[in-house]
Amino acid sequence: MIFLNAPTFKKYFLPGLVFQSVVIAGGYGTGRELVEYFLNYGPLGGILGMLIITTVMWSVLLALTFEFSRKFRAYDYRTFFMKLLGPFWFVFEILYFILLFIVLGVIGSAAGALLRDNFGLPYITGVMIMLAAIGFLTFKGSGLIEKFLSSWSIVLYIVYGLFLIVAVVKFGPEIQKNFSTGIAHPKWPLGGFKYALYNMGIIPAVLFCVVHIEKRKEAITAGLLGGLIGILPGLLFFIAVVSHYPAVLPKEVPADYILRNFGFTALRILYLVVLIGTLVETGTGFIHAVNQRIQSALQTRGKKLPRWQRPVVALILLLIGLGLSTFGLIPLIAKGYGSVSWGFFIVYIIPLVTLGLYKIFKI
């Protein structure tokens, strides 16, 4: 894919695709997250929360983040939050590691459950596959990570498109019926708000590719596009899942539940392969951000992070996250994500839209 190296692609589309790649496994790859924060508020309430709250918040906050990153040449979260919060930057790092371990627990639990339930493989096999892939990508560094995340996202869009087409063909009347009921529980804006917030905590995983952006217009455009790019696969999936509302609400992996009801074995296998890839994407993005942060700290001392140490960092973080995976997917998503969301609101969102805006336009 030659266009992946084109300057226009790297400026305007790459940041959004990387954002979507890192969001997906912790955000909607299994479908559990979309059920928890959107479908629980009804089909109409969910779609309103997704489009009016989450998409708008993502686009605006990504635009501001990319411009702040560009202006202050802050391409890792340590530098970014030192510029934004000064001596209190470490508060974000504490929250980031909490989110990182929750997400690694989610993807570890998901990988083990998917391979066990669908292919009869031992739980640890899924973890080992994920570990090997993440270790390889983190060893290779930013260049390969950019290409893998962006190209896999394109494959993912195709599969999600097929997912929606099959859902409409097989369950079109059910989808129409469930949307026409107009069910929208009163707190639907809160679901969209919390979902947008905890996913914005992945921002460190996106900053490394903002280096390609040179002008304010490019940063703002890339951010606005990023929100749309990030939400589109989730929107396609949500429409398909509505076909099985409310039976799908308690399912641990709604995506697998829906695919089984489709009756298309080939699509189910394809989706599972893509989903495993998204778990690798998200884990790689989160851990690469930590490596970039370590590299930034070492550079201030005139040192450099050896390449061989990058997969070692990945191994340590994944093993800690694996321990969290024993808590199960539903509790991790329902309790863990919800709690950390408010922390990001206080130490990232509020400072960005106040102090960050001031620094962008006045300094």
Report pLDDT for 2: 53
Ranges of H-type helices in 49-141: 56-71, 77-85, 90-119, 123-140
Report pLDDT for 242: 94
Report pLDDT for 5: 66
Contacts of 191 (CB under 8 A, 6+ apart): 37, 38, 40, 41, 45, 46, 49
Which one, of 210, 270, 205, 223, lies nearest residue 57 by Cα?
A: 223
CA distances from 241 to 21, 31, 159, 315 (A): 21, 8, 15, 35
What is the SS3 assignment for 212-281?
HCCCHHHHHHHHHHHHHHHHHHHHHHHHHHHHHCCCCCCCCCHHHHHHHHHCCHHHHHHHHHHHHHHHHH
Which one, of 59, 33, 69, lies nearest residue 253 by Cα?
A: 33
The CATH code for residues 6-350 is 1.20.1740.10
What is the CB neighbour count within 10 angstroms for residue 308? 8
Give the Cα separation of 296 and 290 in Å (integer): 10
CA distances from 100 to 147, 175, 340 (A): 22, 35, 11
**What totals of helices (H) and strands (E) does the chain contain, helices first?**
19, 0
> Under a CB-based contact definition with an 8 Å cutoff, are residues 137 and 145 in contact?
yes
Contacts of 4 (CB under 8 A, 6+ apart): 14, 146, 147, 150, 151
Report pLDDT for 332: 54
Which one, of 289, 354, 349, 30, lies nearest residue 142 by Cα?
A: 289
Q: Domain map of the chain by residue range?
A: 6-350
CA 292 to chain centre: 18
Averaged in consecutive runs of 10 residues, what is the pLDDT profile of the chain (363 residues)? 72 90 72 89 96 96 96 92 93 85 74 76 77 80 79 85 91 94 92 86 84 95 95 91 93 83 83 82 82 83 80 79 59 61 88 95 79
Which one, of 50, 57, 343, 332, lies nearest residue 188 by Cα?
A: 50
pTM more than 0.75: yes
The helix or strand, by DSSP H or E, that contains position 345, with its residue range, turns out to be: none
CA distances from 238 to 160, 241, 243, 357 (A): 10, 5, 9, 34
> Under a CB-based contact definition with an 8 Å cutoff, are residues 340 and 201 in contact?
yes
Q: Residue type at 99?
A: L
